[in-house]
Structure 1
Amino acid sequence: MTHDLVIRSLRTVLPDGERPAAVAVRDGRVAAVADHDAPLPAKTEVSLGTTALLPGLVDTHVHINEPGRTEWEGFASATRAAASGGVTTLIDMPLNSVPPTVDPDALAAKRKAAEQNCAVDVGFWGGAVPGNVPHLRALHDAGVFGFKCFTSDSGVPEFPPLTHEGMREAFQEIASFDGLVIVHAEDPAALGTPSDGGYAAFLASRPPSAERLAVERVIRLAEETGVRAHILHLSAADCLIPLAEAQAAGLRVTAETCPHYLTLSAEEVGGPSYKCCPPIRDAANRHELWLGLAAGVISCVVTDHSPCTPELKRGDFATAWGGVSSLQLGLPAVWTAARARGHGLPAVVRWMSEAPAALVGLPKGGIAPGCDADLVAFDPDATFTVDPSSLHHRHPVTPYEGRTLTGAVTATWLRGTPTGDTPAGRLLSRTETP
């Protein structure tokens, strides 16, 4: 049998670890995984040598902002950046687009904007906001992968937060069809107003207690309603204890963190390109996040790519837009820090590919027969200095500017086909997932 593609690497990251292997692809899926030198007839063969072969990353936390705020980002630019950074699947957040994805008509508008504009596969989250509980089941049936809600101000008026009672009502409805709720967890009563425009005041205005109070509320509501809940962009290590206790008790509560919380620290924050909510905390907190990740309390590492126009990132920390642009840089940023802490490529793949794919139930995230042949050639020893002009994001604003990172993506395949200038990404739907 002749395969469409065979890729051989001495460092293939498989579900059971890293080893030399040959990966055969047919009809867009992994057909076989064999010994490195096994005879596998193919139309095309690629030999990577010591360059690693990884499954494509699955980034379940990306703000693309189209339609409505396409001047901030868009499907074409975001997915080009994703492919360049080894991300072959992303799930788009229901805000900051206009309209937000809070009903089936808005989802249809989002899908129309994305059609034939995506270099990688794209799925969609729905939103849970005040008054839209009657739309949640219809959105679920239309294929969204879950529902995002805020416990505090989202930053845009068209996506308001839920009160405690609003959360209970939404959680009960989502639990009734065994959906997934994903939560921006910061308690509004614990948030303050920065006393000036500096980072210290901004950080003090969003203390770890704000995250912990909101996380504990989500855990209580998950226990009460039975809903499957996921905590977004965890930045406060104080939350690890209640999360670990909830998981040990059998509650279906998971959590993610982001590259900027694992690789940056408050001690080194520069200008507003570092601003995000919740904030980047100190180095001691960062160390505890790594321990929580290694222990499995945190399961996913995803970017929370949240860009805006350069004008909105100017000024001070009190007024600038809160969001970090890192979609193209997440893999090398995390690998640089993980490697220094003694973690190998299989751990990074577990956090950035396997676990996010499992969160949303996609046949991706691993190199195994039957999985989509979304593959990445990654040189784990290459180093480079981040030059914003080389980024494919719509606006080259990133806190990683000038940093030297280790690890470079040298090729990306989407279902066995190299990503290129012709958009070949598919629009994904939960209802079409095996």
Structure 2
Amino acid sequence: MAERFDVVVRSRRAVTPEGERPASVAVRGGVITAVGAYDSELHAAQTIDCGEDALLPGVVDSHVHVNEPGRTEWEGFISATRAAAAGGITTLIDMPLNCVPPTTTVAALQAKRQSAEGRCHVDVGFWGGLVADNLGELAPLHGEGVFGFKCYLTDSGVVEFGYVTREELEPAVAELARLDALTIVHAEDQRLLERAPSAHGGDYGDFLASRPPEVETAAIAEIIGLSRHYQARVHVLHLSAAEALPAIAAARAQGVRLTVETCPHYLALSAEEVPAGATQFKCTPPIREDANREALWRALGDGVVDCVVSDHSPCPPELKHLEVGDFGRAWGGIASLQLSLPVVWTHARRRGYGLVEVVRWMAGGPARLVGLAGKGALAVGFDADLVRFAAEETFTVDPSALHHRHRLTPYAGHELSGVVRSVWLRGREIDLDGPAQGRLLRRDDGSGVQAVRPSGVAQRGNSPPGSAPTLAAAAGDPTESSLFGSSQGPDPSTR
């Protein structure tokens, strides 16, 4: 008797670890159990033919600010995960700040999980926070399954999540190296920022001058030194300054356990295009010049930058101060969760990259970074997180069609390529108006990643402690080229 599956999804453009090819993906029990030829005789309760629409693994976004509990007027699990699903993202990892309380203690982590439970349309995991006074909380948080620890080397913009000095950072990195936990860093040097010109007014050039490239390069040099000394796993968040790339490449060539991400806005936008007073473009580090943007693209292509994630950092529109257009006063963050995939695809294809590279950067790379060994690829044994993507279709960004809580976006009116038609989470199509089916994920101390809810559901194994996995390999690249060895308002001038 022929083997029977729950669902089979066929596409003439399936992006598998072997490349883009016609294929059929068979699913049973939420897991991919067979990948065959497009016309394979695979019997299932449901068969879906995507035709010429591409079939991708679900995007994994490891840099999202959901802001719940405590700041749900900014965002929240329902709206954030609905926007994620609409954009082809099936897994996100939530940042530890802009929520109240921040995720710097086990109690705060439990409060966040309680807020998220039963309200997520996609799978969600959590980063822990590293601040000046929680060194003793790192091991307990690690034991509770956070995916790593975020710190700021400059003011975060919210009073409840302080930055760490060089003297405070070193013992924390040493402790996290002992745990083989990942340290992820907002790499801007506070002392250099204090010496830079202050940001004010509506001239974007003045704002750019307030956060020059050396602010990033100095901070990155510092964390490279700590990573080398302690053999610690360190990840650079939202790289903007291309000037840091030579030091990053050299450190990785020497075996430093360093990984790097950049974001859609650094790849799609440039300083020359930012209108005066258009504070919806403000983020930190800032969007830099066109030549810098092209250098980031080359670094992605060369494997020096590992992955592309959203840094979805929303706020209520009034905190952008659009009525006065003052870059100094405005909150620094861009909400782009729903648009990340089409934005990156639009600009990648213009530079000769294909869907294989986009999947490597946005699915396999982030999954490997956080240790989600069962996410990010159309391969047997992986979660059946699938995206039907009309890669050749274009659309114009209409803010009213966005599912973010607030729809202010620098991409309004942009024509983008790639329409997300359908998304499946573990083989079940996501209904944005239906019940939430996402799970809360946790790191499982080297033996794999498992769901917090429902209990007893396990996923595939993780890399063993002490290993230095490669991000490119997890994305379906047969070459292993990347080393991994209170509700008080914010201070927007620092964000």
TM-score range, shorter chain: over 0.9
Give the percent of matched residue pairs that are identical in Structure 1 and Structure 2: 58
**2:73 is matched by which residue type in structure 1?**
E
Out of 402, 420, 426, which is 2:439 matched to? 426
Q: Deviations over 1:23-57 (max 9, x none)?
A: 00000000000010010000000001100000000
After TM superposition, list the pairs within 5 Å mapping 1:246-265 onto structure 2.
246-265=251-270
Contact preservation (8 Å) 1:77, 1:393: yes
1:230 Cα deviation after fit: 0.2
Q: Unpaired segments of 5 or more residues in structure 1?
A: none
1:240 match: secondary structure: helix
4+ residue stretches of structure 1 with deviation over 4 A?
Answer: none
Q: Which residue of 2 aligns with 1:24?
A: 26
1:118 Cα deviation after fit: 0.1
**Residue 269 in structure 1 maps to residue 279 in structure 2:** no
Out of 153, 156, 159, which is 1:154 matched to? 156
Q: Which moved more, 1:306-315 or 1:44-53?
A: 306-315
Q: Deviations over 1:370-399 (max 9, x none)?
A: 000000000111100000000000000110
1:207 Cα deviation after fit: 0.3
Q: Which residue of 2 aligns with 1:336?
A: 346
Q: Which residue of 1 aligns with 2:405?
A: 394
Cα root mean square deviation, aligned = 0.7
**1:251 is matched by which residue type in structure 2?**
V
1:313 Cα deviation after fit: 1.2
**Residue 92 in structure 1 maps to residue 103 in structure 2:** no
Q: Deviations over 1:42-87 (max 9, x none)?
A: 0000001100000000000000000000000000000000000000
Q: Deviations over 1:401-431 (max 9, x none)?
A: 1100011100000000000121000000002
1:194 Cα deviation after fit: 1.5
Q: Deviations over 1:199-218 (max 9, x none)?
A: 11110000000000000000
After TM superposition, list the pairs within 5 Å mapping 1:288-299 onto structure 2.
288-299=295-306
What is the CA–CA distance in structure 1 between the aligned matches of 2:202 and 2:69, rounded to whole Å? 31
1:429 match: secondary structure: strand
What is the CA–CA distance in structure 1 between the aligned matches of 2:44 and 2:243, rounded to whole Å? 52
Q: Which residue of 2 aligns with 1:359?
A: 369
Contact preservation (8 Å) 1:301, 1:352: yes
What is the CA–CA distance in structure 1 between the aligned matches of 2:164 and 2:52, rounded to whole Å? 50
Out of 219, 223, 228, which is 1:223 matched to? 228
1:99 Cα deviation after fit: 0.2
What is the CA–CA distance in structure 1 between the aligned matches of 2:251 and 2:33, rounded to whole Å? 39
1:13 match: secondary structure: strand
Contact preservation (8 Å) 2:390, 2:419: yes
Out of 287, 308, 331, which is 2:315 matched to? 308
Contact preservation (8 Å) 1:198, 1:318: no
1:226 Cα deviation after fit: 1.3
2:162 match: secondary structure: coil
Q: Which residue of 1 aligns with 2:119?
A: 117
Contact preservation (8 Å) 2:200, 2:327: no
Q: Unpaired segments of 5 or more residues in structure 2?
A: 450-460, 462-495
Contact preservation (8 Å) 2:200, 2:329: no
**1:252 is matched by which residue type in structure 2?**
R
Q: Deviations over 1:336-384 (max 9, x none)?
A: 0000000000000000000000001111000000000000000111100
Out of 409, 417, 425, which is 2:420 matched to? 409
After TM superposition, list the pairs within 5 Å mapping 1:74-223 onto structure 2.
74-191=76-193, 192=196, 193-223=198-228
What is the CA–CA distance in structure 1 between the aligned matches of 2:369 and 2:286, rounded to whole Å? 24
What is the CA–CA distance in structure 1 between the aligned matches of 2:443 and 2:203, rounded to whole Å? 43
1:230 match: secondary structure: strand
1:25 match: secondary structure: strand
What is the CA–CA distance in structure 1 between the aligned matches of 2:181 and 2:191, rounded to whole Å? 28
2:23 match: secondary structure: strand
Q: Which moved more, 1:311-320 or 1:382-391?
A: 311-320
TM-score, normalization: structure 1? 0.99
Q: Which residue of 2 aligns with 1:375?
A: 386
**2:264 is matched by which residue type in structure 1?**
P
1:127 Cα deviation after fit: 0.4
1:243 Cα deviation after fit: 0.4
Contact preservation (8 Å) 1:353, 1:365: yes
1:195 Cα deviation after fit: 4.8
What is the CA–CA distance in structure 1 between the aligned matches of 2:154 and 2:162, rounded to whole Å? 8
Q: Deviations over 1:88-117 (max 9, x none)?
A: 000000010000000100000000000000
Aligned residues: 434
Q: Which residue of 1 aligns with 2:455?
A: none
1:189 Cα deviation after fit: 1.9
What is the CA–CA distance in structure 1 between the aligned matches of 2:134 and 2:230, rounded to whole Å? 18
Q: Deviations over 1:283-308 (max 9, x none)?
A: 00000000111011100100000000
TM-score, normalization: structure 2? 0.87
What is the CA–CA distance in structure 1 between the aligned matches of 2:397 and 2:293, rounded to whole Å? 22
**Residue 279 in structure 1 maps to residue 286 in structure 2:** yes
What is the CA–CA distance in structure 2 between the aligned matches of 1:273 and 1:383, rounded to whole Å? 23
Contact preservation (8 Å) 1:197, 1:319: no
1:188 Cα deviation after fit: 1.3
